[in-house]
Amino acid sequence: MDEPIIVGIDIGTSKICTLVARVENGSDLRILGVGIEPSQGLRKGVVVDLQAASLAVSRSVEKAERTSGFEINAALVSLAGSHVSSINSRGVVGISGGVVDREDIERALDAAQAVAIPHNREIVHVIQRSFIIDGQDGIRTPIGMHGYRLEVEAHIITASSSTMENLRQCVAASGIEISQFVLNPLASGEIVLTENERQMGVAVIDIGGGTTDMAIYIDGDVWHTMVLAVGGDHVTSDIGYILRLPITQAEEIKLKFGHAQKDAINPEEQFTIRSFGGDAPDRINRVDLAEIIQARMEEIYHLVLQEIRRSGYDGLLPAGVVLTGGASLLPGARQLASQVMGLPARIAQPQNLVGLVDQINSPAFSTSVGLLEWALLIAESSQYSDRRRPKQTGEWSIKIKDLLRRLLP
């Protein structure tokens, strides 16, 4: 039986990462191709220069094709930006024949989508949270159950149509068809969260370059999503502005000397910089740099906490928060998150990967690898790179059914 080849393209503000993987043993991912390219033409997850963004995507795809030896025809693509929003809705239908089947679920989800959505927005995800049959709630898988009235609680994620169309053009310039857009925190959550965390209640927070994305999981399903237009690049900008440094130098200093907690730094530690117009190198206290970083990271965490409280689920997260994304690598980021939000926190990255994994064993690539996990789960219903699909049996069938429970389509 041929093993399918799956592809994900993570289009971020700081980097574009194309991954090609082969599915082995029905559920294992072997990374065959990696194409990482500095991002251009994007700001806060949104295309601002179509030509530059298209060129960066093309370069990333070419690198992945070269290392994998496969021609890429279709891929899943990540989606972020403050234009993304979500609402909760409920759909109610009568059960035809007295026994719930797939058609009844689809009709219920269609009814849940019958909400007023502006003409300039389109639905990205419809995530079913739970079902109610004849007043009995908390039903996870209603197929085959008897009843007369079926209700579904759904989480609907929408995005700007024009922004999504610009992303489509960027990818189409490389001759690639977008199989599906996947919201960043959903892709990240697929790869970094444990099943226990999903069931208990957890928030995955993906801190990227231009955006901070969050998804709240309770009882195994997504209950709330949010995208903030602030991220690690803002920390770099703060450093450059206050210390009067070029952005490239500010980024180097952040990575080399940065810390998210000033109290953890020895007050006597110093480093040397050369600012704009400086005749001689300046000595900077590392604690001053940490103070700049801490201020911005605290703001990000406060905004996330504010959104968690606004959602009403702040008391339902015993598993705390799981941090991922490039900015979570800052020393002290985890401790500061736990301190500001008053929740347990851990940093997560992709695990148990084989193949060309040296470059992607980092929280910065959680979304990239998460896209492959999504592609793996829906490979039965979508055709990716080479149209080779296994039969739906055994563990694979279970994975597909689990995905259909969590996301349609």
pLDDT digits (tens, 9 = 90+) for 175-188: 999 989 999 999 99
Residues 6+ apart with CB under 8 A from 199: 219, 220
Chain centroid offset of residue 51 CA: 25
Instruction: Classify burial at 391, counting beta carbons within 10 Å of its beta carbon; exposed 0-12, middle 13-18, buried 19 or more.
Output: exposed
* CATH code for the structural domain at 87-156: 3.30.1490
CA distances from 167 to 9, 51, 163, 317, 374 (A): 11, 11, 6, 34, 19
DSSP state, residue 39:
-
pLDDT value for 356: 86
Q: Do domains 1-86+157-191+351-409 and 87-156 have the same CATH topology?
A: no
**Beta-sheet strand order (sheet of 321-324):** 221-228, 212-218, 202-207, 321-324, 345-347
Cα torsion 377, 381, 384, 387: sign: positive
- Fold (topology level) of 194-347: Nucleotidyltransferase; domain 5 (3.30.420)
Give pTM, 2 decimals.
0.86
Nearest to 221 by CA among 357, 407, 24: 407
| Fold of the domain built from segment(s) 1-86+157-191+351-409 | Nucleotidyltransferase; domain 5 (3.30.420)
DSSP, residue by residue, 350-388: --S-EES-TTT-SGGGHHHHHHHHHHHHTTTTS--SS--
How far is it, in rounded angstroms, from Cα 90 to Cα 92?
A: 7
Q: For residues 251 and 50, give the distance between their C-alpha atoms in angstroms, rounded to a whole number.
A: 25
Q: For 63-76, what is the HEC assignment? A: HHHHHHCCCCCEEE
Question: In the chain, what are the domain boundaries?
Answer: 1-86+157-191+351-409, 87-156, 194-347
Separation CA 258–CA 273 (nearest Å): 14
Q: Which residues contact 342 (CB under 8 A, 6 or more apart)?
A: none
Q: How much is the pLDDT for 61?
A: 96
The DSSP secondary structure of 220-275, one letter per residue, reads TEEEEEEEES--HHHHHHHHHHHHT--HHHHHHHHHHH--S-GGGS-TT-EEEE--
In angstroms, the CA 402 to CA 6 distance is 19
| Predicted local distance difference test score (pLDDT) of residue 379 | 59
Picking from 43, 69, 54, the residue whose alpha carbon sits closest to that of residue 9 is 54
Tell me whether strands 345-347 and 321-324 are parallel, antiparallel or unpaired.
parallel
Position 127 scores a pLDDT of 87
- How many angstroms separate the CA atoms of 138 and 296, rounded? 40
Residues of the chain with pLDDT under 50: 1, 380-409
The reported pLDDT for the residue numbered 384 is: 32
Calpha distance 31→24 (Å, rounded): 11
Secondary structure (DSSP) of 284-317: EEHHHHHHHHHHHHHHHHHHHHHHHHHHT-TTS-
Kindly state the DSSP code that residue 2 receives in the 8-state scheme: P
Tens-digit pLDDT profile for residues 91-137 = 999 998 889 998 999 999 999 988 888 889 999 998 888 899 998 98
Predicted confidence at residue 320, as pLDDT, reads 96
What confidence score (pLDDT) does residue 2 get? Answer: 64
Burial of 127 (C-beta count, 10 Å sphere; 0-12/13-18/19+): buried
